[in-house]
A and B are shown apart, each in its own frame.
Chain A
Amino acid sequence: MSDLDALMKAFGEAGGDKAILGNNEIAHLVAEGHKLLSMKTVEGLEVDAKETMSGISAKVAVKEGIKIKNPVHLCFGVLHKKGTQKIKMDVRLEKNSSAHFIAHCIFPNAEKVRHIMDAVVEIGEGAEMLYSETHYHGLYGGIEVIPKSVVKIGKNGRYFTDFTLTTGRVGKLGMDYSVEAGENAVTELTARVFGHANDDINIKEKVVLAGKNSRGIIKTRVAIEDDARAEVTGITEGNAAGARGHVDCMEILKDNAVAKAIPIVSVTNPLAKVTHEAAIGSVDKRQMETLMAHGLTPEEAVDVIVKGILK
């Protein structure tokens, strides 16, 4: 079986739709380890991807005024038990363009694997980008995921990101996202992670509301059990008139798990406003009782609640 077939088989087993590779109207980029396996572009989308000495480098541009109809799929993974995948992404959405990128990160057999993503994103004036990243991990937990991205949003631009790691063991996660929003720009960063065993979760997300009337939300949902640990840092700076930001962190834990939430909000303009809420604790007793009164066992009730917050 070729590496591409093997990766797509794992992708299919994780619930993905393998047919996307054969669809001429859907752009994609597939890489296993440091090998580029498949790539397709559509009109208005420029992709310059190559294998380098240190990993994979990809420059992606959506041309001015182009709205990419179908999501662009990025399939990254390491199928071997050991290995490293370093990806450097440079994404640029030109003025009034829009695109939705869906990243599938597949590490089903990882025992000692590192996945490092280093992205620089520039959203032009009036442009909109959605970035969804979903991880499919195996049961070993021998993986280290280090996604880092620095995003700059221009005037009236919009940037939404959704990071999900709820399948399999997390391993070690060191996420570091930073977004600067310009005038009237809007951003929403969402992360959902479910940790087990001795998983170690570290999430840092920062939004700088630099432009007048910019808006930003950081929403983090973490569930941990066994001996897992999680630390979530949500930083929002309101530096311009009319800027509105909010940090919303919820962590549910059980067994011997340990969770920490660090919301940091700062405002340097008196006409800006930033709020935060953080909740850490075991599963809410009243929620449990309500679901049990509907006939669910305690285990089923916890499952429904955790799945709900990670949805």
Chain B
Amino acid sequence: MPLIEIEGLTFHAGDKKILDDFSMTIESSEVHALLGTNGTGKSTLAYLVMGCEGYRPTSGEIVFEGKVINDLKIHERAKLGITMSWQEPVRFEGISVRDYLTLNNKDLDPTHYIEMVGLHSELYLHRMVDKSLSGGERKRIELASILALHPKLAILDEPDSGIDMLSTQDIVNVINAFKEHGSSVLLITHREEIVIIADKASQICNGKVICSGNPAKVAEYYKSRKCLICNREVCAYV
């Protein structure tokens, strides 16, 4: 049984269809990269899987470990083992990095996790998760906090984008850390060079999976900017 099955998921924002009969599965301990250009529905999918407010499928199902989770709230999904790292993590005033990493487990030693994302624990654990951190530092701390949760499924929404994007090697290190913990990863990205570190990849266009399988082949397909399914007038690749 796959860890998560997304079956025929459709989602509208107002009149606009963002996801259109979208289906994919992620196996246990699998790193699955979802590749697509801006505006193709990648982040929307992430919010739907995480259960963010305002993101409930118009139709279709999200099945996690055999259970339909469409109506569960974020924290209920988190309790099942799903978590997410946002593309631009928010800041928190008055919360130290140590407290942030141990939100759910006060007995946890956060040292290991902060160092796994390339930050020195002595320099960072006492700092605040506020605007004194750079975007890159904040992203690393977010990834460390997700690692510390030992999730069954970690959704990483474009850790490789933004002003303070992480390098490919940074992403590889983080993905390997998730693998060591036995976590599955849904890695959302628009950079084809990242995809090859995944076990499997899918390409999304106009809210649909247009190809799926071997990461290198999907990356190659994405690079060619071909799209065989979408209407050429609206396809992001044409």
Q: Which residue of B lies closest to A295 (CB)?
A: B78
A287 touches B78 (CB 8 A): no
Report A-chain residues with C-beta under 8 Å of the C-beta of B84. 293
The answer, yes or no, to whether A305 is at the interface (CB within 8 Å) is yes
Report A-chain residues with C-beta under 8 Å of the C-beta of B75. 292-293, 295-298, 301
B78 touches A284 (CB 8 A): no
A289 touches B145 (CB 8 A): no
Q: Which 4 A-B pairs have the closest CB atoms?
A: A308-B94, A311-B94, A292-B74, A292-B75
Q: What total of chain A residues lie within 8 Å of the partner, measured CB to CB?
A: 24
- Select A287's contact among B50, B74, B90, B145, beta carbons within 8 Å: B90
Cα–Cα distance between A50 and B199 once the two chains are bound (Å)? 78
The CB with the most chain B CB atoms within 10 A, among A286, A287, A290, A311, is that of: A290
Chain B, range 61-109, C-beta contacts under 8 Å to A: 73-75, 78-79, 83-84, 86, 89-90, 92-95, 103-104
The answer, yes or no, to whether A310 is at the interface (CB within 8 Å) is yes
- Name B residues whose Cβ lies closer than 8 Å to a Cβ of A: 50, 52-53, 73-75, 78-79, 83-84, 86, 89-90, 92-95, 103-104, 145, 149
The smallest C-beta distance from A49 to any residue of chain B, in angstroms, reads 35
Annotate A277-288 by CB proximity to B: 1 below 8 A, 0 otherwise.
000000011110
Cα–Cα distance between A294 and B110 once the two chains are bound (Å)? 15
- Name A residues whose Cβ lies closer than 8 Å to a Cβ of B: 221, 250, 284-287, 289-298, 301, 304-305, 307-311
A295 touches B104 (CB 8 A): yes
Cα–Cα distance between A309 and B93 once the two chains are bound (Å)? 5
The smallest C-beta distance from B36 to any residue of chain A, in angstroms, reads 22
Given contacts A285-B53, A304-B95, contact A294 B90 (CB under 8 A): no
Report B-chain residues with C-beta under 8 Å of the C-beta of A295. 75, 78-79, 83, 103-104, 149
A293 touches B83 (CB 8 A): yes
Given contacts A294-B104, A295-B79, A296-B104, contact A289 B95 (CB under 8 A): no
Cα–Cα distance between A143 and B155 once the two chains are bound (Å)? 50
A294 touches B83 (CB 8 A): yes
Chosen A-B contacts, 14 in total, with CB atoms closer than 8 Å, are A286-B90, A287-B92, A292-B78, A293-B74, A293-B78, A294-B83, A294-B104, A295-B149, A298-B73, A307-B94, A308-B95, A309-B93, A309-B94, A311-B94
A290 touches B94 (CB 8 A): no
Main secondary structure of the interface of A (DSSP, over half): helix
A292 touches B92 (CB 8 A): no
The smallest C-beta distance from A222 to any residue of chain B, in angstroms, reads 13
Cα–Cα distance between A237 and B52 once the two chains are bound (Å)? 44
A289 touches B74 (CB 8 A): yes
Cα–Cα distance between A291 and B50 once the two chains are bound (Å)? 12
The smallest C-beta distance from A177 to any residue of chain B, in angstroms, reads 22
Cα–Cα distance between A309 and B128 once the two chains are bound (Å)? 11
Cα–Cα distance between A304 and B100 once the two chains are bound (Å)? 10
B149 touches A286 (CB 8 A): no
The smallest C-beta distance from A190 to any residue of chain B, in angstroms, reads 12
Cα–Cα distance between A294 and B83 once the two chains are bound (Å)? 7
The smallest C-beta distance from A251 to any residue of chain B, in angstroms, reads 13
The smallest C-beta distance from A277 to any residue of chain B, in angstroms, reads 11
Report A-chain residues with C-beta under 8 Å of the C-beta of B78. 292-296
- Select B149's contact among A250, A294, A308, beta carbons within 8 Å: A294
Cα–Cα distance between A298 and B95 once the two chains are bound (Å)? 17
Report B-chain residues with C-beta under 8 Å of the C-beta of A305. 92
The smallest C-beta distance from A221 to any residue of chain B, in angstroms, reads 8
B103 touches A289 (CB 8 A): no
Cα–Cα distance between A293 and B47 once the two chains are bound (Å)? 11
Given contacts A295-B104, A296-B104, A310-B94, contact A290 B89 (CB under 8 A): yes
- Select B93's contact among A285, A294, A301, A308, beta carbons within 8 Å: A308
The smallest C-beta distance from B70 to any residue of chain A, in angstroms, reads 17
Cα–Cα distance between A70 and B74 once the two chains are bound (Å)? 48
Report A-chain residues with C-beta under 8 Å of the C-beta of B94. 307-311
Q: Which residue of A lies closest to B81 (CB)?
A: A295
The smallest C-beta distance from A94 to any residue of chain B, in angstroms, reads 35
